[in-house]
A and B are shown apart, each in its own frame.
Chain A
Amino acid sequence: MIEVDVRLTLGVFTLDVAFENGQGVTALFGQSGSGKSLTLGLIAGLMRPDQGYIKLDGEALVDVAQGVFVRMHRRRIGLVFQDSNLFPHLSVRQNLLFGRWFAPRGDREIDFDAVIETLGIGKLLSRPPARLSGGERQRVAIGRALLSSPKLLLFDEPLAALDMERKLEILPLIERLRDEFKVPMVYVSHAIEEVVRLAACIVVIEAGRVKAIGSPGEVFGAMATQSAEDRFDRSSVLTMKVCGANAAYGLTELKHPSGTVWLAGPAGPIGGEARIIINATNVVLSLQPPHNLSVRSVLSGSVEAVETSGPLATVEIALKGEGHLFAMATRHALDELGLERGSPVFALIKTSALDERKMGAVTRL
């Protein structure tokens, strides 16, 4: 259980955030410069807030009013940086054991071999960090933080410095750590696909303030209606049920009360849940179910709102059952189809646009 309520002024920037979360992964989501990394720094104890408190499992790490400030090395909070920050003069094994050595003997709950196994770094143990690839380095950094048996594990954009392939390799590892080792995590990122995939609770931070808190569906559904600095970034998050697989074609069938979405590739065990992110530019609107079209993923609902900007319009569709979906179309098309608030509509989604990185398989929430 992490409770944060802090204020800090640095020059012209003011951070004023409050949130709390009990279980699993809390994501701090926002643009760079929004103050999310600063918040992480305050939790880790890298600096002090001007006012407020941070509590972990009811114990104050910092409480300005009470004059409490626990030094960072006594907080037992692991931090994984954007660039791994491995100690260059120590071997991988020595790096991994660094934090473990400082953990009180009785608290070394995390098993060394289990971490090595999960992260797949067994063969790297005797190497110096200089002889690791970027992805390997980050895996070791995650292992190092985890092996200090922290009460809370912080991630500061851990994948931002990696290429897409490495991201896809490490993201599932973080998911496994979350599920296997049960360490609560706070994950900072500006990448929507990462936070949707990992987090149970998303705290949206903008200009030093909390703008929204909630589950990925709640947060991103609401956010898209409020701001759209970049309309091509407007996405919807849907939670769907994994229903079956078409092995012959390598597809996974995801069910929603409003229809079916086919996904290229696996999405976790059948019966589990998966979150998908659908970019508004990949949605086509139709008045009828599609015929003679290549599209196989269709969701139905009714138009809830239309927002125009120049020749384009964003349509918010209330899906049957639950959830909202955004679609981009030209104003011209909407007028010809006669789409307005309340019109029933079919949303056609290109399966090929739902690539793996936009897909979050969340099975054990």
Chain B
Amino acid sequence: MLDFSPSALADLSPAEWTAIWLSLRIATVATIASLPFGIFTAYALARWRFPGKTIVNGIVHLPLVLPPVVTGFILLILLGRKGVFGAFLADIGIVLSFRWTGAAVACAVMGFPLMVRAMRLSFEAIDRRLELAAGTLGASRIWTFFLVSLPLAIPGIVVGAILAFAKALGEFGATITFVSNIPGETQTISAAIYTYTQVPGGDESAMRLTVVAIAIALVALIASEIIQRMAEKRVASIE
């Protein structure tokens, strides 16, 4: 029978725990590692004018519309051991395919459009004159970015990071295509649930992991709500 009680956690098998920890680790690493790139890309798209901006914007958003399996396969072509960049990375000792680090890369790529979208909106909402004011007060562009633009965009950055984290937890298609479904290395909660549903008697394990997935998602959402509210209070706009 389905058991939603907290005591069900106690019944989690070591294999299930491994999947949970792996999922959290992959999602956290994917989110933190893509954060600087996401912030930079969002700011560039929001504030700069440069040739090929539409194309850059398109490429950033591609993982959102492509079938995840296609994205995973492209990653395999590019970053696989014999891939275009993968071969070079392998030479300097970085192997991504069939490793948890590769899963993190796949999750980061899949979450990137969501992250950039939220952050870009946040940067665009900043009154340009605040940045100009900083400039007339002697702040160079870089100082203006770190002292004015970035702090004011914090609510959007938090939302973007949470979205990317949630996406990473749920990522399945690109991950399984790029790094397969290796227990203890690349088998995340999603992949584990899928595996359990494919074997006789696995329903109970699948259900326990489902409860955990729901719990993690809820905690992430509530945390984001709280952080966002705190940040918004701090940067409350003057009207």
Contact = CB atoms under 8 A, between A and B. Distances in A.
A46 B138 contact: no
A73 B138 contact: yes
A87 B140 CA distance: 16
Interface stretch (B7-15, B88-96, B129-137, B179-187): B129-137
A81 B129 contact: yes
A108 to B, nearest CB: 11
Contacts of A88: 130, 152, 235-238
Interface in A72-96: 72-79, 81, 83-89
Nearest to B136: A79
Contact of A129 (B147, B148, B238): B238
A161 to B, nearest CB: 12
Interface stretch (A98-106, A226-234, A317-325, A343-351): A98-106
Interface in A153-204: none
Interface string A119-138: 00000000011101000010
A93 B135 CA distance: 18
Interface string B107-134: 0000000000000000000010110111
* Most-contacted residue by chain A among B129, B141, B238 (CB, 10 A): B238
Interface in B126-183: 127, 129-130, 132-141, 143-144, 147-148, 151-152
A188 to B, nearest CB: 14
A144 interface: yes
B235 A78 contact: no
A44 interface: yes
B138 A76 contact: yes
B138 A85 contact: no
Contacts of B134: 87, 98
B234 A81 contact: no
Contacts of B148: 87
B59 to A, nearest CB: 32
A102 B139 contact: yes
Contacts, number: 80
* Most-contacted residue by chain B among A77, A102, A144, A145 (CB, 10 A): A102
Given A76-B138, A78-B136, A78-B137, A85 B236 contact: no
A148 interface: yes
A96 B75 CA distance: 50
B136 A73 contact: yes
Contacts of A130: 236-238
B132 A46 contact: yes
A145 B238 CA distance: 19
Contacts of A129: 238
A73 B140 contact: yes
A85 B129 contact: yes
A30 B236 CA distance: 35
Contacts of B140: 71, 73
27 contacts: A44-B136, A46-B136, A71-B135, A73-B135, A73-B143, A79-B132, A79-B133, A83-B129, A84-B238, A85-B127, A85-B132, A85-B133, A86-B238, A87-B134, A87-B147, A88-B130, A88-B238, A89-B152, A99-B137, A102-B138, A128-B236, A129-B238, A130-B236, A130-B237, A144-B137, A148-B136, A148-B137
A-B pairs, 9 with minimum CB distance: A102-B138, A99-B137, A79-B136, A85-B133, A72-B135, A89-B235, A130-B236, A89-B151, A85-B129
